[in-house]
A and B are shown apart, each in its own frame.
Chain A
Amino acid sequence: MQVVFYISGAIAILSTVLMLTRLNAVHALLYLVVSLLAIAVVFYVLGAALAAALEVIIYAGAIMVLFIFVVMLLNLGEAAVLKEKNLLTSTMWVGPAILSAVLIAEFVYILSEGSHGDLPAPVEPKQVGAALYAPYLIGVELGSMLLLAGIVGAYHLGWSRPQKDR
């Protein structure tokens, strides 16, 4: 099982790097979906089966699909791919690469005195559900309000007014 963890981790990192360097938006999105699925596997290995399912259903299944729909709506075409090529030069990578390297180094340093434990015990969905509706009830309510706000906001922004430009 631990091997699965490391393989999935590697796939996730690789597909994320590939995602960042694509020129075509749809290709990048597909690589992102692969990355998310790999993370779902990681969740399962860590014993969080519910989280793994949710990751697949909601993140990869709904959010990424939404992304793809929007990209298709925009209907960018070949011209966009060429433009991306012009924008994405190698010199642009220098700064962000340095920043990210620094961040990674800091994380590794902080975590350097961690334990290399073995497989953690799985946490049942039943436990998650019970905890969700007792101590974290307010969070649930707030989450639902947030989603409502998201719906209303998205509807309002998406509605094109007859005359006014913006």
Chain B
Amino acid sequence: MPPEIAQFLSGSVLLFLLFGTGALVAAIAMVLFPNPVRSALCLVLNLFCVAALYLLLNAYFLATVQVIVYAGAIMVLFLFVIMLLNLGAPDRAIDRLRWQQPVAIGVALVLASVFGAVVYESVPATEPSVQMAVPAAPEAPSDRPAYVQVRPDPDTMPPVTPDTMGTASGIGRNLYDPGQAWLFPFEATSILLLIAVIGAVVLAKRRLPGETDLATTRIGDGGSNE
């Protein structure tokens, strides 16, 4: 391969083109399919392609989480609700606002021009270096005897570099580091998930006879259901 072409075509570029195109095609097919089940399956394909892009970006842990949480749990939930509510009817059968589609396409074109202008103007002339300078590992001698260290000492572990920060170890050591800003959002996320679980149960649970339905009670109704 001539060197001027080898400069543009490498393995990572080819993989990006493959999975980026796959993600785009799957996303467009998701919007174009009238059948919600096919849309959901296209979204699964899109999520897999995006997970492959995460791997290209050295985000190994997030790629795994993407497949397990998004393509696994969330999409199963979507398909379950589609089939539970029998929503497989094509979209056009319930389409009543004819003018909405051209308006939506116009809005999308405006947004596309805004995005294009931002990307065109804000991409710097020279890319920042992919590899950041990594400070050398601190040679902190441990005053404890060796047999006390039943688990790795954070002082003697190799530092988290841009290459290793996508691994489970790198994610965990940054996420739970009290010296960084991520511990409090992490705890807040746990409360958010708890609220979501309680809210979903309250919303979706079947009313027992004689019980006030929290989800559909109107304020000021005195607890009586409509």
A binds B: no
Interface of B toward A, CB cutoff 8 Å: none
Interface of A toward B, CB cutoff 8 Å: none
